[in-house]
Amino acid sequence: MPDTERLNNESYTRVFDRLSELARERTPFFADVWKRQEKEFGSPWVRDIAENVSLFLGERDEEAWKKALDGYADFSMDAARQQNYFEENRQYQGVSSANLLSSCYEDRDFMMMTYLPGLYLSHFLWRHHYKLLRFFRSKVLPSLTSPKFFYEIGVGTGLYSYETLRYFSDAHGHGIDISQYSLDFTGRLLTAGGMSKRYQCEKMDIFKSCLEPEKADFLVCQEVLEHLEDPERSCRILLTLIKPSAKAYITAAINAAHTDHIYLFNSPSEVEAMLRSAGWRIIRSCAEYAYTGKALEVTPCVAGFLCEKI
């Protein structure tokens, strides 16, 4: 089960107040995001972001906070530019997996200063990301029967592996990613949380995977499919990695442009159909949208599916 809160009320309030103050000073364009999130999700969200920033960046390390906030601002501005292009053209800007490897995932400054800090904070500051994180915590993890071993395919920041290890204190995990910087970021997060001894990071391409088949009791693949030129093939590969009747949590970004998004999903039902075609049984799903007021076909969405191998 999850551990108890790491900060007392006074500490998390102080951390949050200073964080939001720095956000207003350094990234005024995004200052309202903090207010909207607090209004919608209340004090549990305030504690959540304060605890997670304190865990990973330090309870009083304002220089680290500033760098992360700057990275988030750059990450979000890039997403906004890409989304504007998508709304006008109804397609993502043309990129390939090979180009992304050199221009994005192997670029240390971009990954460590912009992409990963921005992605990490987006799990708490982007409405749809945070709602899906809450779905994972409240619906997915409690539905599992104490998995002893799990894979995460495409670890990103490592947050979902962290949440799994935190919830199941006896679980061990193995995370892969094509970016060494994502693995380094994940390693730092799990070390900060005291979980690194229960987790292995490995640089690996899912399409060239040598992971042991039918080993895992659970699998996470969180917002990876849209980064691939052939996501349907990856869905079939994921199926081979878990035991019969084991579960997986697979998500995808929909109508959500970004620098490294390749495959355009037009609706949650399109993702679901791909998973079913690959052989998965859908147990439960959740689709969350970034905002209201625009047509759904141009509104960023993220959809999560709790699946079972049959």
Q: Are 198 and 175 in contact (CB under 8 A)?
A: no
Q: How far apart are CA 36 and CA 20, in angstroms?
A: 12
pTM of the model: 0.95
Q: What are phi and psi of 277, to 5 degrees?
A: -65, -30
Q: Is the pLDDT of residue 5 over 70?
A: no
Structure tokens at 53: 């920033």
Q: What are phi and psi of 197, to 5 degrees?
A: -75, -15
Q: Could you give all domains of the chain from N- to C-terminal order, each with its CATH number?
A: 9-125 (no CATH), 127-309 (3.40.50.150)
Q: Is the pLDDT of residue 1 over 50?
A: no
Q: What confidence tens digit (pLDDT) does each residue in 203-251 have?
A: 999 999 889 999 999 999 999 999 999 999 999 999 999 999 999 999 9
Per-residue confidence (pLDDT) for residue 96, from 0 to 100: 86
Measured CA to CA in angstroms, residue 162 lies from 15, 137, 220 at distances of: 21, 11, 11
3-class secondary-structure state, position 104: helix
Per the prediction, the chain carries an average pLDDT of: 95
Per-residue confidence (pLDDT) for residue 94, from 0 to 100: 72
* pLDDT band (50, 70, 90) for residue 100: very high
DSSP track, 242-281: EEEEEEEEEEEEES---TT--S----HHHHHHHHHHHTEE
**What are the percentages of helix, strand and coil residues in the chain, rounded to 5?**
55, 15, 25
Per-residue confidence (pLDDT) for residue 7, from 0 to 100: 67
Q: Among all chains, which residue has been given the structure tokens 């993890």?
A: 141
Query: Which residues, in sequence order, are CB contacts of 193 under 8 Å at separation 6+?
Result: 55, 162, 165, 166
Per-residue confidence (pLDDT) for residue 219, from 0 to 100: 99
Q: Which of 172, 178, 179, 158 is nearest to 215 (CA)?
A: 172
Q: Are 226 and 262 in contact (CB under 8 A)?
A: yes
